[in-house]
């Protein structure tokens, strides 16, 4: 699930990104958390935006009851990613996606 969209740009124009914002009425599911992680890894959102989303979700979110422990554990950890002692590494993201039930495969394209 891709929640961001990049528009074509030239060397002289800035990159414009439109990202789906989370709504308090939206249930936090495995797919929602997976989408936010992919948005971050694909640079559609910044670390600060990921942390802000996680903090908001922890305060106001309604988590899927089937996965509440898993989801709150991952989202709480994402909310601390801007703290130097915690950070957020590629390995962390890989582990989170695996715990959510996703297989991670990296591909590259020419710039």
Q: Of 38, 47, 51, 97, which is closest to residue 78 (Cα–Cα)?
A: 51
Q: What is the pLDDT along the chain (111 residues), one digit of tens a residue?
A: 444 433 344 444 444 444 455 566 689 999 999 999 999 999 999 999 999 999 999 999 999 999 999 999 999 999 999 998 999 999 999 999 999 999 999 888 898
Calpha distance 91→98 (Å, rounded):
10
Q: Output the pLDDT for position 42.
A: 93
Contacts 24+ apart (CB under 8 A), 67-71: 67/29, 67/30, 70/30, 70/99, 70/100, 71/28, 71/29, 71/30, 71/33
Structure tokens at 77: 């950890």
Query: What confidence score (pLDDT) does residue 55 get?
Result: 96
What's the number of CA atoms in the CB half-sphere (13 Å) around residue 104?
18
Cα-trace Rg, the chain: 15
Give pTM, 2 decimals: 0.76
Would you state the structure tokens that stand for residue 66, as one six-digit string?
């089937």
Q: What is the pLDDT of residue 106?
A: 87
What pLDDT shows up at residue 1?
41
């Amino acid at each position: 699930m891709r929640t961001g969209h990049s528009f074509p740009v030239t060397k002289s124009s800035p990159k414009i990104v439109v990202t789906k914002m989370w709504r308090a009425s939206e249930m936090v599911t495995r797919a929602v958390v997976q989408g936010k992680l992919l948005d971050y890894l694909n640079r559609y959102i910044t670390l600060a935006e990921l942390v802000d989303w996680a903090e908001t979700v922890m305060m106001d979110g309604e988590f899927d009851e089937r996965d509440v422990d898993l989801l709150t554990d991952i989202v709480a950890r994402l909310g601390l990613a801007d703290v130097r002692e915690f950070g957020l590494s590629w390995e962390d993201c890989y582990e989170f996606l695996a715990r959510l039930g996703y297989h991670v495969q990296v591909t590259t394209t020419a710039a």
